[in-house]
Every structure is written in structure tokens, then in C-alpha cells.
Structure 1
């Protein structure tokens, strides 16, 4: 049975007909899947991206980095009472009025951690082994209860994590959240192409090699899934954005929400000082009057090492991937079709060759395409940058060992909770390991009156 003419009409103009060369050998199920994949791909875009990449140089990125300056609309630490008291009240009022929602990016798997499940399911509690999901959802449970208002949670998954994530939430009773206030949606995918020919690669017979379209796929995902319409119907005005691998992110932080509102910002982002010029963090800066984030790999070493008159790094503010968006700004980007740019990465990707054999390359052979949500910053008319504390709010779980690993995140959580107990008036043994369920408390202030005496060994408060 020959391939349908409509598929040939799609593929032939883009020299992608190889995708259906083995059509006769495919089962009906394989044909149906491949056909749906082909029809979902915009081959004009793929062709354009490939040719742009082949003809590009690094000069453009170097030029941007050379023009980068520290952000001018900036709120730095320490957060003195006069600086943030009003902001905290404003943020709390937004939550109480039901105008705040939260966005969780949870499309990643725990593969690099040796964990064959969605990363959000990773056991990170230093005492209980509670999941990453638990530390984030629990904060929403706490703030919702305290404010007497609903904070809907919009959770972006991927093809790889969606089903298991939804099952996990159901089994865990949505971690205390109301199921009606949790909205799951999937990010999109993009095909991988041969970096020399531009041919879309096959992962196996009847299946195109694809990968998630990056956290910048959030905009399209919110729009197409109906999540954006749900926000509108609920009267949500501001959205707190965070990633699943950072258990110490302050979800729906009233101070951050309030500062965003007070500055009439369309998008706000939290930053922290880089340890050194070589730290692999995107840099939040200002280029030609626009706030933006430049990838560390796009900043030449000599520019990254530049210092100011005080000897501080000129480009020192690292991106924490914690943002606040105004819903109206997201709507504008979606309605106007102001697409975020694709970033193209060189990857080693196993694939089928023309003979049907699986090739496992030892060097990069493919281009993968993804969008980054932080590319929305320069599109905003107003953008705010807010400094946060690394110890308090940036302890991601990215590597199996060493820095940014489960071990460092668990230690950071325990140290944070111990500091809360001490501030609340309790005595803590030096070797104590402490875990506080966020539904019980999300700050030292909330612990006051709930704890007393001394604690040692393993301590779990819930």
C-alpha cells in the first residue's frame, strides 16, 4: 500500500520523503502514528531554522554580550522593612482576592539522577523522603488556607512525564490540593534533524525522533490547552512561575508578587549573585534598554570576567528560573503571535539510517530545537529584577552527585528548617536533621507559637 498522496505533498517540497519510504512495512498503528506526527510538523519552520543555523555565526551573540549591562530596574537585598513591608501586604491582598495563580514546569525526567520517573516524583525530603512535588504543592496549600482563597496550579508536563505525573497526583490525593484547582497540560514537541542534511530523523520505524520544545513552549501550551482561558474565567491577574527541580523556591512569594505589582511590571525575575564568572548560569542583564537573559555559553570569557569599579562582576546576576508574569502580558504574546525564538543545540542522537539500522553516534549529529521562556523578558514594556538569597531559594536538583545534587538540596532544606526553628525560639542540636512540611509552615514567622523546647536527631514537623 503506497503512502497517502497528502503525505507526499507535505514532505516532497521539503525533501523529507524518506520519512515514508518504509510505509509498506509499517503496521496500521505505526502508519497512523507516523501520519499524525507528520501532519503536526511545520516543515517550513524546520527548513528555515536549519538554514539559519547553518549560515549563522557566533558574532551576533558576542555582540549582544558586549553591550550587556547590569539591570536598571532592580530591587536588591537586604530586604529592609521599609522596602518590602508594603510589597508583602500587596502580595497577600492579591492572593486573598483570588488573583494569583501558579505555573509549575514539570516536563523533565529524573534520568540524570538515576531515577526513571518524572523528576517531580524524586524523594527529596531530608527525613520523610517526600517528593519534590510535595514541597511545592504544600506551599500552595498553606498560602491558600491562610488567605482563604484559591490558588490554581497550572502544571506543564511533557509526553514523557504526563501520564505518570497525573497518576502520581491522583495517588497522593493531589498533595492536599483541590483537584478542581489543578490543571495539567503538555508542552509541545519538535523533530530532530540531521545537522548536515536537515533531514528529519527517525527514532525507529514509523516514529519520528522528537524532543520537548523547551519551557518556552509554555505560551503555546497555555493557549492551546485552555489553561489561559481558565485563568481568565477565574480572574487570575498574576502568575508565579517556577521549576520542579528547586524545592526551596518560595511559591507565590507575597513579597515578590507585591513588588511585581507595585512596579507595574509585565514580567519579573529573581536573581542571585554568581559564585564566579565561570558559574554556568544564564545572566540577567540589560541590552539596549531591554532586560533579558543571556545564556552563559553565549558570553565570551573575557566579557564574563569584566568587573566594575568595586571589583564586582559586571554581569553577576544569575537566573534562578523563578518569575512572575502578568496574565495580560501572556495573553498579548499569544494573541499577537509574538513567538519566542528557537534555540538550536547540537546533540548526539541515536536514529535509524537509510538501511534501517540503529546508529548511535559518538559525536553530535543532530539539531534539536527549543524555546526558552526567559526570551519573553525583552518583549515586555516593563520588567523587574529582584535579588534573592541562594541559601534560601536556589537549591536545584540537577546532578546525581556534587553540586546541585540531591545531597546538597537535602542539606540545604535541613539547614533552612533548622534556622527557622532557631528563629522561632527552639534549640536545635548541631547534628539534627530537620524537615518541615510546608503545609505546617513556610517561614520562621509561622513556626512561632507552634514549637518550643529542644530538638535533636531526625525531626519531622507536619
Structure 2
């Protein structure tokens, strides 16, 4: 692993009196009520956690004095930003121009990638990091393997090792690191992979604003959201490493989408030809209240209104022809200009805080652990897409959901975003590639094509032509994995 792999330096341990002095102005001294019953390791852990919390900022959040947003009012004024359609319309260059420019950037080693992988597979009924979930319809490759194979294929095609910065959470960090180490980094070079941990925010009691204790010697902490990615990259030396190695653009994606077009040269090309500081990939929403962020333009600025913040009445607004007014759904694929990200750090730009009411188990004054039956706490998180309004220039790129979006979020049996539906989407896409090459394949046959065999239908046709497996010969009648 790279040098940036090491964690940020720990805070020095503070004494009881130092901790009490830090907590008293904010009425949070209850966090030390069990201090004398803790052993030295537990005291050290609690001290470090308290030292890392910005209690002045937290107080502002608890009191609700941060800038509040009326999302309903915003949505009423929202229009669609200019977007490049999936067929290439909407811009002054062709798809071929975009592909050529994107391939130039890849060959020049200008692209780095960051994978946000802090989630566990709880909703899937999977008790490991979600990236370890076996999603391959034939191969049973994990989500992590899907992304590693695509990076390896891109590296072979463009003659450069594309770095992978992988952000975990406290819940997934150790197991994710072990998984990569025990599986030889899934074919990637160890120095190509940097695993680092995102920050946390304490959960507070919804009524009193007191920070909750998960244990007598530990705060109730939760990940600070994907909005913490930028700070975590900087804190762990990743930004400095990218700049030193000549990277200019950062491809951002999340762990639950096996169809993400990782290092897609056309997407990269649109970003570069538009001189965009932040480019966002979108799909047309399948239904008005689909649980994706809504990409909009308000007062000349592109921004995203999260589905949880958008009133249903706004989500269901239509144009005169009956089409959805706010049709562009965010699929958590962005491309950032590195200069833009560094400017955001230098300006210490604070992303808005989003609040969520959650059930949080906690230790009460008598030392007993309480597990609530209804939401009792407020969690705070930030979203990476809230950087959009700060970008001087942005562009939105539409993707075909059948080719770019098959999220794995819910257990099989749910209506949407299940492993079965993702596997079906993978097979549908790859059967389509085969048919475009003249191969007959029945809809009942499962087909999976590793990007190391072919990254797209054109590469597949060439591979099959070279092997004599196309132009009428082929009829695939059983499940097949091309690797």
C-alpha cells in the first residue's frame, strides 16, 4: 500500500482536568461520569474521541443556528441545468471528441479514483462490508472485485496504473483492509491501493442535545457522511500524494453500483472539454420519488436536493408535456478537478449539515445500556455533492441506466435495488453486447463479461472475431463467464 495508507496521527491523551475544562463550556461533562471506572486503554480511547470533536461547532448544530434550508421553496424555483444527453446532444463536441480527450487524460496518468465504501451490508442481510458482497451473476465476484477488474483493464488499455483511494468507516476499515491483503489486492498493485478511514460525528440526544455514550468509555459516533471524503483525503495525505504523482482529476464513486463506468473516457472527456470543476453523472428517474438526489439549477448554480429533503409535491412537478420537471437523478458518480478540491480545503468551505433522526443505543447515568424502540437521537452528516454550488463551472452528463446504474441496497424480495435485479441488469447488458457481435444468446442464459476480457461491446466483438467466435457461429445455451 502507498505511503498515504497510514492513518492520521492520533490526538495526544488529555488528563481528566483538561477534558473537563474542554467540556464544561458546552455542558457535556457527563461524558466523563464513568472515568474512574475505566482502565487506561479505555481512558485513552475516550480522551482521543473527545479531543477530536469540535464542540463549538457541535453546539451551533444542536441549537440549530447553522444555516437552515427551505428545500420546498428551493424546489419551486428549480430548473434543469444544461445537460449532455446520453446520445451526446446538448454540447458543442461529439461523443468521439469526448472519448478521444478522455483517453488522452487516462494515458497521461491524470486520473485518480476514490471509492466510498463505509457501508455494511445490513439491509442486504450481509454482515460484512458491502464491498465484499458477491454480486457476479455467474462468477460471484464481489463488488470490490468488479471495480478492481475494471481498474486493471483500464491500466492495461491505457498503459498506466490508475490509483484507487478507498474510504472506509470505523465499521468496515479493519475487515476491508484484511480482505485486500489476503486476496493480493484483487490483482491491483499494493502501491496502487490506499485504504483510509473517514471521520465521524457524535450522535446527540434529540431532546437535550447531550452527546450520547455508546459505552462507558466511548462516544456514540457515526460516519460523517460522504461529505467528509475531502477532509479525510487531505488528513491522510492522499491529496498531497495525488498532486505529487501528477494526478489532475478525481473520479468519485460509491460501493453499491457494479455497473459504474469507472474511468469511462467519454465521461472524462465531457468534463475536460467543458472545463468543468465538478461533473456529475445522472440518470432519468424511474419514478418521481425515487431515492436518488435531484440535480437541479437554482439561481444559476447547479446543486443537488437529496430525496429525503425534497417534498413529494416538488418531486412530482411536471412540464407542460407531462414529463417530470426534475428528472435528473444523481447516481453518486462525480469527477472533480483537483485544483477545485484544494481550493475548497484552502477556503475551509463548510458543507451544510444534514440531520437524521435515528435510534441510537446508549449508556445512561446508572451505567445501563438502553436500546430505544423509536428514534431518540440526532445524527449529523455532510454530502459531497454539496460542493456543486461552489464550482465555477459544472456540467451534468446523462447515462443510460441500463448501462450505468444497478445499485445493490436491499435484500432480495424488495421492490428495487436488490442483488437479483443488479445481476439481471448485468446479464441483460452483457447479452446485449454479445448480440451486437452476432452471437445468439437466450434471455434465460446468465452471461457475465469481466472487463479484463472486454470493457465494452466493441472490444468484445474484436476479441470474438480474433477467436473465431462471432459472425454466425455462436449460440450460447448455458451460463457463461468471459474472463
Which one of the candidate residues 356, 368, 371 is aligned to 1:360? 371
Deviation track 1:431-459 (CA, whole Å, cap 9, x = no partner) reads 11011112111111111132322212110
Matched, 1:116 2:127: yes
Tell me how far 1:179 sits from its aligned partner: 1.0
Matched, 1:65 2:78: no
Residue in 1 that maps onto 2:55: 43
Tell me how far 1:301 sits from its aligned partner: 2.4
Tell me how far 1:339 sits from its aligned partner: 2.0
Which one of the candidate residues 306, 314, 333 is aligned to 1:322? 333
Deviation track 1:296-328 (CA, whole Å, cap 9, x = no partner) reads 232222222221122111111111111111111
Contact kept in structure 2, 1:187 and 1:217, CA below 8 Å: yes
Q: How many residues align?
A: 458
Deviation track 1:120-146 (CA, whole Å, cap 9, x = no partner) reads 000000011110011111111111111
Which one of the candidate residues 32, 37, 47 is aligned to 1:20? 32
Contact kept in structure 2, 1:3 and 1:20, CA below 8 Å: no
Which one of the candidate residues 386, 404, 419 is aligned to 1:406? 419
SS at match of 2:350: coil
Report the Cα distance in structure 1 between the residues aligned to 2:309 and 2:221, rounded to whole angstroms.
25
SS at match of 2:330: strand
Contact kept in structure 1, 2:203 and 2:222, CA below 8 Å: yes
Report the Cα distance in structure 1 between the residues aligned to 2:382 and 2:132, rounded to whole angstroms.
25
SS at match of 1:439: coil
SS at match of 1:344: strand
SS at match of 2:304: strand
Residue in 2 that maps onto 1:168: 179
Report the Cα distance in structure 1 between the residues aligned to 2:306 and 2:39, rounded to whole angstroms.
44
Which one of the candidate residues 214, 219, 232 is aligned to 1:221? 232
Tell me how far 1:358 sits from its aligned partner: 1.4
SS at match of 1:200: coil
Contact kept in structure 2, 1:342 and 1:370, CA below 8 Å: yes
SS at match of 2:146: helix
Tell me how far 1:4 sits from its aligned partner: 1.6
Contact kept in structure 1, 2:296 and 2:304, CA below 8 Å: yes
Residue in 1 that maps onto 2:41: 29
Q: Over aligned residues, Cα RMSD in angstroms?
A: 1.6
| Range moving further from structure 2, 304-313 or 326-335 | 304-313
SS at match of 1:449: helix
Contact kept in structure 1, 2:67 and 2:352, CA below 8 Å: no
What is the TM-score when the length of structure 1 is the normalising length? 0.96
Tell me how far 1:399 sits from its aligned partner: 0.4
After superposing on structure 2, the runs of 4+ consecutive aligned residues of structure 1 that deviate more than 3 Å are 55-58, 79-82
Matches within 5 A, 1:136-285: 136-285=147-296
Tell me how far 1:67 sits from its aligned partner: 1.3
SS at match of 1:323: strand
Task: Sort the Cα spacing of 1:57 and 1:335 in 2 relative to 1 into closer, same or farther, 3 A.
Answer: closer
What is the TM-score when the length of structure 2 is the normalising length? 0.92
Residue segments in structure 1 that go unaligned for 5+ positions in a row: none
Deviation track 1:348-396 (CA, whole Å, cap 9, x = no partner) reads 1111111111111122111101110000111101010010011111100
